[in-house]
Structure 1
């Protein structure tokens, strides 16, 4: 996974035969935008392995995140963009609880576990243990936790807000439509099976096709 430097773009590594023009055609993006995002690049002499900034189109899928009874203040969006070889995921979340370090046997609150779960169902159910209807982590290839297709980086709260983008090669956006995004109370340790000991589910959003 990797992060981008220019808002509205993702990193693309040049392959044999790539030119700015054919990349713009292939991924239906503006050639002028590509050139503007890469002012130091010699567009007539791209090198294999070189990294350029590629502009993003509209997301293919999106999830509107809403907090449950344990943290109703949470709101935000998670967008899924179709990019070469995978998906660019962008999250913008507010209302996260203040960080609390681990005390005794209690886990810390934050940074927050963040995953795609099996079922697009955000019914609250038990208010003390909400969103169980979303099922477990989405794991279509039956991998151990830490390598689930639905395993994402944790969300770091900045006075309640977390905003980040990252690349995953584990799926394309179409594959997660109809599933759910869950934000957990505790950090994911990426080790404990089957769910990383990320604790209770604070917020949920069903992933739907983006309609503009």
Structure 2
């Protein structure tokens, strides 16, 4: 593979700094993780957005979370012969092999994927409607929820509402996986919907009782 290059210097320096401090100070813990395997209690499905840092938000260490990231933290419906296997495979591994007790979908403010979905549905992003747009076809998962926010005139509010609907449709789609549904009904697995404001550091959770997102 002739196109691969060495890491840029700034990343090399950061690695050597981590190896000399964090790793060295916790070497026994890292070796234990390597030898005994992972036993995370929770899986988190979050957005690829670099501003969403799940382990920092919850102060988590290595081995605590099984994390899967994709555009707009979406989960497709259970489709064994479909095209969306990456997210489905991660969910399958977390639930059936790692046997996590909690499955968290974490949405966030200022989500570019959600904004793209709105533009696509408004006809303002024809490039996303193209059949060869991976982002556009992925955002088709969220497209059915656009009708619920189409009449909101305030653009910021419209985006925030659809960001939360992205969390909700993912929770709904998770329940189409037979082994997720089985474990939820047996009480072995609980689903959680969260949304974070990346500018304010706020965190909200979906409350079934209230039927809306509430501050934690």
Structure with more contact order per residue of length (Cα contacts < 8 Å, sep ≥ 6): 1
Q: Same fold (TM over 0.5)?
A: no
Return the structure number with greater helix share. Answer: 2
TM-score normalised by length of structure 1 = 0.24
Return the structure number with greater strand share. Answer: 1
TM-score normalised by length of structure 2 = 0.24
